[in-house]
């Protein structure tokens, strides 16, 4: 790899570029989906290639290739350089890219069991058995089980002399039960919706999930939902479980704090942000109960790595402290505009994409309450669990979520189930209405493997550690 990258970087030095980096990435993926007792899909995928970023006279260029012979490397470099040269001729504002000391390092996800050494037969057996448990309930129309394993080996090198090698392993699994009756569809999932919960861990994580032990419960709960009361409409107190809160954090905190989005680079796709750089240290994003950190070092977090794709070391950064916005997610280029250093959040989806600012693990820090205390302290409200639907506007202000299930809370006690729960709100008002966050006993890490951003589109795997939390005066049962 060193010869390969040095060849490219030497070409860059000859052209007297401001900066260049190259990433060589090999990715392997294995996904197995089971539905109604049959294997629906088994995918084994591998891709390999390299991408070159060039900054020349203040403009970026990028090119990539899946062929790594010498001729192709030179051709690809020249393509990237030509794009940056053409860009420099029309770009009104030159990009400033601060120098950083070289980093030479290696990182490997610590794992016990390599998921790629577990046979597909073993994995399929696990899924079929879990699926069979769900289907014992004859009212279930669709039973599903899913398992995914992912491995990324990447080499990063730059004209500054950095050389970083990383091996990232991810794993996850999940099950769901769908019932359909009377023109209605109800779903219950475990451990999370949208295929499960994912982590930077080995196959030991899948075993820990024990998906086979939850099939009976989710099937029964899905059936119960058919006869549950519809979610009432009105303004009430809301307690969100950790899995739903993970997506709430993702959409209404994680995305608006991305500095490239704030500066407009996502404007033509997912939008911008209601936040501005001047709001750092000057904006009460949430109540004093709300503390958010961006932590790329958290063991097992889906957004955990050793370094980002600019060679910046993974770090833990406070974002919201006692409700006040104190930081944003930054890159080397964007942090420089604020007079700061990057906090290491640039990641690309493979070798054929430019790195973008991406969430790492955006965590709501645990509070001091137990879930039981939160419920007991709620005169009237709803407890909602497991996301089913999500939507937010292009500045991350107005959101609406739906969950798979809810329960009424009356006089401090958990009551009957409600179906099709939805709630809506305005981001800072919502987070300022948070008056309780559950403690570490209720805190866990959730992995979101499908975060979309950028043009051309990229998918990032990100993490969110959360504990249940309570919010007051929330509009529910949206009509």
Partner 1 sequence: MRKVKTIQEILSLVKEKGFSASGAFSHGEVELIVVNSLGVEAYQKFSDLFLHLIVQNGKGSGYARFIPRDLDQLQIEPWVKTAVTKAQGGSPVQVEPGEYEVILEPEAVRELMVFLGYLGFHALAVQEGRSFFCNEFGKKMVHEKVTIYDDGLDPQGLQVPFDFEGVPKQKVIFFEGGVAKNVTYDSLTAGKEGRESTGHGLIPPNTEGPIPINLFMQGGDSHLEEMIRSVRRGIYVTRFHYTNVVEPMKTVITGMTRDGTFWIEEGEIKNPVKNLRFTESVLKALSRVKAVSQGRKICSSGSVYGRRFINGTVAPAIQVDGFNFSGVSSL
How many residues are given for the chain?
A: 479
Exposed e or buried b per residue across 21-43, where buried means at least 16 C-beta atoms within 10 angstroms of its C-beta: bbbbbbbbbbbbbbbeeeeeeee
Q: Report the distance separating Cα 16 and Cα 421, nearest Å.
A: 59
Residue from the set 37, 161, 234, 264 that interacts with partner 1 by CB under 8 A: 264
Write down the least CB distance from residue 317 to partner 1, Å.
Answer: 25
- Label the pairing between strands 234-240 and 380-392: parallel
Hey, which residues between 15 and 34 contact partner 1 (CB under 8 A)? Answer: 33
- For the chain, the C-alpha Rg in angstroms (whole number) is 24
Do 192 and 243 contact (CB within 8 A), yes or no? yes
479 binds partner 1 (CB under 8 A): yes
424 binds partner 1 (CB under 8 A): yes
Hey, which residues between 86 and 125 contact partner 1 (CB under 8 A)? Answer: 86-87, 90
Write down the least CB distance from residue 459 to partner 1, Å.
Answer: 6
Binding segment for partner 1 (CB under 8 A), chosen from 241-249, 370-378, 436-444, 456-464, is 456-464
- Per-residue binding letters, 153-192, with partner 1 (x by CB under 8 A): -------------------------x-x--xxx-------
Comparing CB distances to partner 1, the nearer of 357 and 437 is: 357
38's CB contacts (< 8 A; 6+ apart) are none
Comparing CB distances to partner 1, the nearer of 1 and 180 is: 180
Q: Report the distance separating Cα 443 and Cα 365, nearest Å.
A: 8
CA distances (Å), origin 22, targets 87, 163, 477: 19, 10, 50
Comparing CB distances to partner 1, the nearer of 7 and 424 is: 424
131 binds partner 1 (CB under 8 A): no
Write down the least CB distance from residue 84 to partner 1, Å.
Answer: 11
Hey, which residues between 435 and 454 contact partner 1 (CB under 8 A)? Answer: 450, 452
Burial class (CB in 10 A: 0-12, 13-18, 19+), 369: buried
Residue from the set 139, 393, 413, 441 that interacts with partner 1 by CB under 8 A: 393
- Per-residue binding letters, 312-351, with partner 1 (x by CB under 8 A): -------------------------------------x--
Encoding tokens for residue 317?
């950064």
Concatenated DSSP letters of 343-367: -S-EE-SSTTS--EE---BEEEPP-
- Per-residue binding letters, 32-51, with partner 1 (x by CB under 8 A): -x-x----xxxx--------
Look at the block and give the residue holding tokens 């001091």: 368
Chain centre distance of CA 239: 22
Q: Report the distance separating Cα 298 and Cα 313, nearest Å.
A: 13
Comparing CB distances to partner 1, the nearer of 54 and 312 is: 54
Which residues sit at the interface with partner 1, rule CB under 8 A?
33, 35, 40-43, 86-87, 90, 141-142, 178, 180, 183-185, 264-265, 267-271, 274, 349, 353, 389-395, 397-398, 400, 402, 420, 422, 424, 426, 428, 450, 452, 455-459, 478-479
């Amino acid at each position: 790899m060193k010869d390969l990258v040095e060849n490219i970087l030497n070409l860059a030095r000859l052209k007297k570029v401001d900066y260049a980096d190259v990433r060589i990435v090999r990715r392997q993926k294995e996904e197995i989906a089971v539905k109604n007792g049959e294997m629906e899909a088994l995918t084994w995928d591998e891709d390999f290639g390299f991408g070159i970023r060039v900054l020349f006279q203040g403009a970026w260029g990028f090119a990539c290739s899946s062929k790594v012979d010498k001729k192709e490397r030179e051709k690809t470099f020249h393509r990237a350089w030509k794009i940056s040269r053409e860009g420099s001729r029309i770009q009104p504002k030159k990009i400033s890219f601060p120098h950083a000391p070289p980093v030479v390092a290696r990182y490997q996800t610590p794992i016990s069991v390599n998921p790629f050494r577990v046979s597909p037969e073993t994995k399929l057996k696990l899924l079929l058995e879990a699926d069979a448990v769900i289907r014992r309930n004859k009212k279930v129309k669709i039973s599903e089980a899913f398992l995914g394993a992912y491995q990324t080996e990447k080499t990063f090198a730059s004209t500054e002399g950095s050389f970083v090698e990383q091996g990232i392993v991810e794993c996850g699994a999940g099950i769901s039960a769908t019932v359909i009756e009377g023109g209605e569809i109800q779903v219950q999932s475990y451990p999370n919706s949208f295929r499960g919960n994912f982590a930077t861990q080995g196959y030991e994580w899948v075993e820990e999930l024990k998906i086979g032990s939850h099939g009976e419960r989710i099937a029964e709960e899905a059936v119960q939902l058919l006869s549950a009361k519809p979610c009432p409409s009105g303004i009430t107190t809301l307690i969100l479980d950790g899995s739903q809160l993970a997506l709430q954090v993702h959409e209404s905190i994680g995305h608006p704090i991305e500095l490239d989005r704030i500066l407009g680079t996502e404007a033509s796709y997912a939008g911008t942000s209601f936040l501005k750089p001047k709001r750092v240290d000057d904006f009460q994003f949430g109540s004093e109960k709300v503390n958010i950190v961006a932590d790329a070092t958290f063991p097992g977090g889906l957004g955990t790595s050793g370094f980002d794709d600019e060679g910046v070391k993974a770090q833990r950064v406070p974002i919201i402290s006692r409700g006040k916005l104190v930081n944003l997610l930054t890159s080397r280029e964007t942090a420089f505009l604020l007079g700061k250093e990057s906090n290491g959040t640039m990641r690309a989806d493979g070798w054929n994409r430019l790195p973008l600012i991406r969430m790492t693990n955006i965590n709501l820090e645990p509070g001091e309450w137990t879930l039981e205390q939160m419920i007991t302290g709620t005169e009237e409200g709803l407890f909602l669990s497991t996301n089913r639907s999500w939507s937010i506007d292009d500045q991350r202000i107005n959101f609406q979520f739906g969950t798979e299930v809810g329960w009424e809370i009356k006089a401090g006690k958990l009551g009957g189930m409600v179906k099709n729960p939805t709630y809506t709100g305005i981001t800072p008002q919502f987070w300022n209405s948070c008056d309780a966050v559950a403690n570490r006993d209720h805190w866990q890490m959730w992995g979101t493997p499908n975060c979309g951003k950028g043009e051309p589109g990229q998918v990032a795997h990100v993490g969110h550690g959360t504990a249940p939390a309570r919010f007051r005066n929330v509009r529910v049962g949206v009509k």
